[in-house]
Amino acid sequence: MKKILAVFDGLRYSASTIEYAADVAKATDSLLVGVFLRDLTYSRFMYTYSWEIPTQYALDYDRIEKEDEEKMRDIIALFEKTCEDKGVHFKIHGHTGVPLMELLEESAFADLLMIDTRTSFFNVGGQTPSTFLKDLLAESKCPVLIIPDHPEQVKHTVVAYDGSDSSVYAMKMFSYIFPEWKELDTTVVTVNHSASNHIPKNRDVKDLASGHFKNVSFKVLNGKPEKELEKYLKKNGKDAVVVMGSYGRSALSRMFHASISNKILKDVKVPLFITHQ
């Protein structure tokens, strides 16, 4: 039995995310740990100016705290009911909220972390992904499956392969965590800047992919990776899950992979499995 962390904004109910997480846990016979985040650093204060002197007024802090606690309890109860109805093994972590650092520590003891694109704190300007999600992707100690709004049932897999160790590692980790999906049609997609059909380490990657996926094919695109992959997924990505290497920890790796994954999350809206070594 695997252990999956399903991460939620403890103050915002997302029925589609809870349903999807429970369905994945049931399909993979996993323990689903509901982690309910709460932005404990957010201060509910209003700044006003009276006679040009800045004054800070607390907004009935105790009442708002009580309302938030009740809202979180209600959301947790809905999560529990969904899991019970689907026959999913589950636990709860964070009845009063879990901060990011504690979540990252717990990720070291999980096989997978699931989170939706809207679970974000300090999401200035509605950017996708938020700074919170970027930090989580870069520092998580287990693979992350990012869920879009209203996700569809996965019917095929697209592996973004660029010849890097990170993309190979992501392919292997996906197959280890989701052996139940090895029968799905799987396409390994490579994007070359030049007009070439070359696949990096061609023999090795075909041997590996064929050993992990039963119905695998290979597709080579030409052009800018982020643009061509986005175009391909918009045309062929319905009901797909996309697998790719993560931002990594170097500045260059973050910049390259972020540009691609951001476009997938924002414009294509398919589940994205992302991990780093």
> What is the domain extent for residue 34?
3-42+65-147
* 215 in the same domain as 137: no
CATH number of 231's domain:
3.40.50.620
Q: Is the pTM of this model over 0.85?
A: no
Q: Specify the pLDDT at position 251.
A: 42
Q: Specify the pLDDT at position 123.
A: 47
Q: Specify the pLDDT at position 113.
A: 95
Q: Specify the pLDDT at position 159.
A: 95
Q: Considering the domain boundaries, does residue 121 fall inside one? A: yes
Q: Specify the pLDDT at position 59.
A: 54
Which run of H or E residues covers position 56? Answer: strand 53-58
Which residue type, as a one-letter code, is found at position 19?
A: E
End-to-end CA distance of the chain: 23
Q: Across the 277 residues of the chain, what is the mean pLDDT of every consecutive 10-residue run?
A: 87 81 92 80 40 48 76 89 96 71 88 82 49 76 88 90 90 94 94 88 96 96 87 89 71 49 72 85
* 265 in the same domain as 196: yes
State which of 147, 178, 199 marks the end of a domain. 147
* 109 in the same domain as 71: yes
Q: Considering the domain boundaries, does residue 7 fall inside one? A: yes
Q: Which residue has the tokens 């070291």?
A: 108
* 115 in the same domain as 36: yes
DSSP state of 151: P
Domains in the chain, number: 2
Label residues 13-34 b or e (16+ Cβ within 10 Å = b). Answer: ebeebbebbbbbbeebebbbbb
Q: Considering the domain boundaries, does residue 89 fall inside one? A: yes
